[in-house]
Amino acid sequence: MTTTPVQPSAGGEASPSSVHDARERRAALALPYTRVDDVFVDGAWIPARAAGRNPVTDPATGEVWGEVPDGSAEDVDAAVHAARHAFDAGPWPRLSPSERAAYLLRIADEIESRAEDLALTNTRENGSPITETRGAAANAAGIFRYFATLAEYLEREDVRPFPFAPGQESVVRRDPVGVCALIAPWNFPINLVVIKLAPALLAGCTVVIKPASPTPLSIRFIVDAVAAAGVPAGVVNLVTGSGRMGDLLVKHRGVDKVAFTGSTPVGRRIAAACGELLRPVTLELGGKSSAIVLPDADLDAMSKVLIRSSMRNTGQTCYISTRVLAPASRYREVVDMAGAVIAAAPQGDPLDPATVFGPNATKSQFETVLGYVESGLAEGARAVTGGRAASLGGGLEDGYFVEPTVFADVIPSMRVAREEIFGPVLTILKYDDASPSRGVDEAVALANNTEFGLGGLVFSADPEAALAVADRVDTGSIGINFFASNHSAPFGGRHDSGLGTEYGIEGLGAYLTYKSIHRKAG
């Protein structure tokens, strides 16, 4: 495969971290044009059957810097056939879980050895700040290492006596579900593949990966790591192309399970197709999560986690709490704090380590976010900071930048309060806390007044009070004074935020099918 070389700057030249022009920074890093003509099928990079190519665009500059095959039905057929053969006749499902776990540990090591090239490629694909993407390899490796620890769980003998029939018992087997289609989004193209890939491999499944069309190159480092770890041919396969490739995979007769992360509308279509085929599916979809600020909250502490919790990755994160629900008694304090924190965070070239807010990942998403900003202003929201397209120089004039925006005076009926924006936009709503008990009730009702249910936060100086509020919020995950994903705890959405869970033993269970063998107790 083609990798992106990283070259240190020579004496007397500007280092990539010191230059102020995006063009200079890319030149200092010696970032090349990257064209690939292959897909990964049956253990090898082979020429794609399709003649078409999809461009890869740097959203910070608007420049096309790469291209990949726009795959065809023949490419999908070849990948699924390889995965099917590897599952039906190959060694992978027949290895012990501990043997497969050893491969996962080797994959983790191989991923970490590719960390910097992976980060640079990821940032050039979707504009995520380099400080974000430099953590992708370590996080992916951590996911593989965590799932490797679950081999013992799979190997544990599970014998269950009949409740009312002495002398009879059932042996419960946990078998791999089969060939899995893993379809990933563009916002976190590495970790949102790996959280599917690691449990699927430990379970004994084989897979076909289809990355989002804007981010097809960074995932090649993961596939290279799999190959370098010695995983047998056909176990992991990769195809690239537009959304129709995902549709071909979802409906392919050789696929046994689908795992998808992306938008709710696309998730509905996938769910409908899988329902018709009686095919299991995991869907991690959109969100419109809330951060409930209780009257006793420490706003200084909140300010230190606000961007990570509510605007991570330039607002392009599914679980972040983009709605802040503030008590009327402290509304102005919350608005002033949020406006100051967001306004002070640097926006610019995502390859600059000082950058906090980068561009939107695609031109269409940039236009979507601007549309939401305009609707918020039109409906009466007040832009405390931001509120328009960003005007940046230094080679970023054609990038897809929206100013990080904080809206105050937001009411629940506004579009910016109801719909997922997926950009750097934070809304602050007010609840009446004149009566403490009714105030909590109103805050919880506001948090639950959404079609989604993915993330959330409660800020309070009283851990027990915060836990009581968290228990009442109808969501799959919620944090108290911070939010983070725990590899060992289930992560999944309710309502329009999806079906099923990822992470933890529960996430492993999504790649298993069960068999009960009934027998006389010996």
The tokens 């290492």 sit on which residue? 145
Structure tokens at 329: 């008694």
How are beta strands 323-327 and 290-293 bridged, if at all? parallel
Residue type at 500?
Answer: G
DSSP codes of every residue in 116-140: HHHHHHHHHHH---HHHHTTHHHHH
From CA 33, how far away is CA 23, in angstroms rounded?
Answer: 14
175 contacts 512 by C-beta, under 8 angstroms: yes
Cα of first residue to Cα of last residue in the chain, in angstroms, is 55
- Burial letters for 144-183: b for 16+ Cβ neighbours within 10 Å, e otherwise? bbbbbebbeebeeeeeeeeeeeeeebeeeebebbbbbbbb
Q: Which of 67, 132, 284, 442 is catalytic?
A: 284
73 contacts 140 by C-beta, under 8 angstroms: no
Per 3-state DSSP, the chain is made up of helix, strand and coil in percentages (nearest 5) of: 40, 20, 40
Residue 318 known to be catalytic: yes
From CA 62, how far away is CA 65, in angstroms rounded?
Answer: 9
Q: Which of 180, 205, 274, 318 is catalytic?
A: 318
Q: Which helix (H) or strand (E) holds 518?
A: strand 512-520
From CA 22, how far away is CA 57, in angstroms rounded?
Answer: 14
Q: In terms of Cα–Cα distance, which of 356, 330, 289, 504 is closest to 433?
A: 330
From CA 38, how far away is CA 278, in angstroms rounded?
Answer: 32
Angle at 485 between CA 482 and CA 488, to 5 degrees: 130
How far is it between the farthest Cα atoms of the chain?
83
Structure tokens at 512: 């298993």
SS3 298: coil
Residue 367 known to be catalytic: no
| Residues tagged active-site | 284, 318
